[in-house]
């Protein structure tokens, strides 16, 4: 016997159980938003002074969340498009395609917010687009995200047309980009040739595998929560099949990620090299709890156990934990690469709180993280509502 979670949030069909879920999720969102707005207010009132990063660990939580959201965005889009073009059960309808597109965009925009707030000069953000230098992976990625946003928006609009020659070609282009930008997020770090821990091509594979896992997990959560647009047993059966498919995708992607992660870390054991201190820091140093408890236990073992059960409600919970786990995984790439200075004695040479090889996110950083999540959730909600409204107006059943 299977159980399932289905809250509609005014989006799909509403049942008694769904109504109570709605209240919980709305309350959670309001709390996240209130906390987030306070965090953003602190960021603008005090600049970066309340943040925990400094000059030796220049990137912190927001950059970790940025790469997490980028992964989810790319993964959701490519899975939605592949499922739609191949006509897989639970993916072959335009309404199902739109869920993937909306989730992808809703994940991408909060990522921009995180980066914008991280900049020393947020007001100069658009100079990355107006005067880019493509020797920098940052400029390349920024352009790619923005072109992808346009492509995704056009695909979304074309999905309301009864016949469009351009929909599938643009979907293919978008899928190409959404494979490219999560893997290029790995290159963002790999391109730092003076950092042994980051300068490894395996990061591209890790980031791509995690993007597929994140996209699958994100789609699984939203597909489990919002319920099908159409009424009827067939629609419900399609949704069940899509959840099952997404479950398999998530499990497979996590397995691939862990194989490559083990491959990366095992080098440090077989033949300790220059980046071994970074690996030791992750596995047994100050970051052990982030790696073992958040990433491996909460993000891999528990979700795999939940995803292997027959309960669809537990699948959604497992998928949610996958997102948390990969947030931790992002931090285990980001922070360890910054904690080992290459000039011995540099930290002691000039003492200041911003000149240390230590980083813990501050309350303000967590609050801004809440804001990113709240904005993403709101964008998804509005996007889905709008999708269904436009579909009705266009006279499309689903």
Partner 1 sequence: MKEPRKLMQRREFVLAAGLVGAGTAVGVAAIVKDRLPSEPIDPTGEGTVRNLSVLKNLKPQEQEDVLVRMQRELVTAMAKPVEKRHWIMVIDIRKCIGCYACTIGCVAENKLPPGVVYRPVTTHESGEFPNIQIRFMPRPCMHCNNPSCVPVCPVKATWKRPDGVVVIDYDKCIGCRYCLNACPYGARTSDFGRYYSSDAAEGAQAGKDRPVEGRVLPWQREPNNEYAKNWDRKDHGSPVGNARKCHFCLHRLEVGQLPMCVTTCIGRATYFGDENDPNSLVVALKTKNNVQTLIPHWGNQPQCFYIV
**Interface positions, 55-74, toward partner 1 (CB under 8 A):** 55-56, 58-59
d(CA 357, CA 338): 7
Distance, in Å, from the CA atom of 394 to the CA atom of 95, rounded to the nearest integer, reads 12
Total residues contacting partner 1 (rule CB under 8 A)? 72
Contact 214, 327 (CB under 8 A): no
Residue 119 interacts with partner 1 (CB under 8 A): yes or no? yes
Smallest separation (angstroms) from partner 1 to the CB of 330:
15
Considering only residues 16, 134, 262, 310, which one is a binding residue for partner 1 as defined by CB under 8 A? 134
Taking Cα atoms as reference points, which of 163, 109, 135 lies closest to residue 380?
Answer: 109
User: Could you say which of 118, 190, 229, 264 contacts partner 1 (CB under 8 A)?
Assistant: 118
Q: Does 132 bind partner 1 (CB under 8 A)?
A: yes
Q: Which tokens sit at 273?
A: 């090299």
Which range of residues in 72-80, 192-200, 299-307, 318-326 is near partner 1 by CB under 8 A? 192-200
Q: Minimum CB separation from partner 1 for residue 17, in Å?
A: 29
Q: Judged by CB under 8 A, which stretch of 19-27, 86-94, 214-222, 265-273 contacts partner 1?
A: 86-94
Minimum CB–partner distance for residue 280 and partner 1 (Å)? 20
Question: Shortest CA distance to 261 belongs to which of 321, 195, 328?
Answer: 328
Nearer of residues 109 and 192 to partner 1, judged by Cβ: 192
Nearer to partner 1, 31 or 45 (CB): 45
Asked if residue 397 binds partner 1 (CB under 8 A), the reply is yes
Which CB atom, from 123 or from 201, has the smaller least distance to partner 1? 123
Given the complex with partner 1, which of 1 and 133 has the nearer CB atom? 133
Residue 283 touching partner 1 (CB under 8 A): no
Q: Are 108 and 148 in contact (CB under 8 A)?
A: yes
Tokens 């947020």 identify what position? Answer: 122
Distance CA 308, CA 300 (A): 12
User: Least CB distance from residue 19 to partner 1, whole Å?
Assistant: 29
Stretch that binds partner 1, among 4-12, 69-77, 92-100, 239-247 (CB under 8 A): 92-100
Give the CA distances from residue 178 to residues 147, 345, 376, in Å, rounded to whole numbers and listed in that order. Answer: 11, 42, 18
Please, are residues 23 and 14 in contact by the beta-carbon 8 Å criterion? no
- For residue 343, give both structure tokens: 């000039």
Structure tokens at 181: 């930008």
User: CA-based Rg of the chain, rounded to a whole angstrom?
Assistant: 21
Q: How far is the CB of 78 from partner 1 (least distance, A)?
A: 13
Contact segment (CB under 8 A) with partner 1 among 80-88, 246-254, 292-300, 317-325 equals: 80-88
Token pair recorded at residue 117 = 């707030």
- Closer to partner 1 by CB, 24 or 58: give it: 58
Q: Which residue blocks in the chain are alpha helix, DSSP H?
A: 16-46, 61-86, 94-118, 127-130, 137-158, 167-190, 202-226, 233-270, 276-283, 288, 302-307, 312-334, 346-349, 363-393
Binds partner 1 by CB under 8 A, chosen from 1, 16, 87, 393: 87
Comparing CB distances to partner 1, the nearer of 256 and 355 is 355
Minimum gap (Å) between residue 15 Cβ and partner 1? 25
Of 2, 169, 231, 293, the one binding partner 1 (CB under 8 A) is 169
Question: Which residue number, 302 or 355, has a Cβ lying nearer to partner 1?
Answer: 355
Taking the C-alpha atoms of residue 174 and residue 200, their distance in angstroms, rounded to an integer, is: 27
Number of H helices, E strands in the chain: 14, 0
Which ranges of 47-166 does DSSP label H, i.e. alpha helix? Answer: 61-86, 94-118, 127-130, 137-158
Residues 230-249 touching partner 1, rule: CB under 8 A, are none
């Amino acid at each position: 016997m299977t159980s399932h979670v289905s809250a509609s949030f005014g989006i799909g069909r509403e049942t008694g159980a769904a109504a109570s879920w709605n209240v919980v999720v709305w309350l959670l969102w309001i709390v996240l938003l209130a906390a987030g707005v306070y965090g953003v207010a602190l960021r603008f009132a005090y600049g970066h002074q309340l943040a925990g990063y400094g000059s030796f660990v220049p990137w912190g939580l927001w950059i970790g969340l940025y790469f997490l959201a980028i992964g989810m965005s790319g993964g959701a889009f490519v899975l939605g498009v592949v499922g739609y073009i191949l006509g897989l059960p639970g993916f072959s309808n335009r309404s199902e395609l739109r869920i993937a597109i909306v989730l992808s965009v809703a994940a991408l925009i909060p990522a921009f917010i995180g980066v914008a707030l991280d900049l020393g000069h947020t007001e100069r953000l658009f100079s990355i687009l107006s005067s880019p230098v493509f020797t920098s992976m940052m400029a390349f990625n920024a352009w790619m995200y923005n072109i992808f946003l346009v492509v995704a928006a056009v695909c979304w609009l074309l999905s309301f047309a009864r016949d469009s020659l351009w929909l599938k070609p643009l979907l293919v282009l978008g899928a190409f980009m959404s494979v490219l930008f999560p893997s290029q997020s790995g290159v963002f770090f790999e391109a730092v040739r003076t950092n042994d821990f980051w300068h490894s091509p395996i990061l591209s594979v890790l980031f791509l595998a995690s993007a597929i896992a994140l996209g699958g997990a994100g789609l699984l959560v939203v597909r489990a929560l919002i319920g099908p647009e159409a009424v009827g047993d067939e629609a419900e059966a399609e949704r069940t099949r899509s959840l099952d498919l997404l479950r398999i995708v998530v499990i497979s992607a996590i397995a691939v990620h862990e194989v490559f992660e083990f491959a990366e870390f095992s080098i440090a054991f077989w033949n300790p090299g220059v980046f071994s201190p970074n690996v030791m820091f992750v596995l047994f140093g100050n970051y052990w709890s982030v790696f073992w408890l958040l990433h491996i236990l909460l993000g891999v073992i528990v979700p795999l156990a939940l995803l292997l059960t027959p309960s669809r409600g537990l699948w959604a919970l497992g998928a949610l934990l996958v997102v948390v786990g990969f947030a931790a995984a992002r931090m285990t790439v980001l922070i360890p690469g910054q904690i080992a200075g290459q000039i011995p004695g540099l930290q002691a040479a000039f003492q200041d709180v911003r000149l240390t090889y230590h980083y813990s996110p501050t309350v303000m950083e967590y609050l801004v993280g809440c804001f990113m999540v709240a904005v993403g959730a709101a964008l998804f909600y509005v996007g889905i509502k709008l999708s269904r409204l436009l579909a009705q107006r266009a006279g499309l059943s689903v």
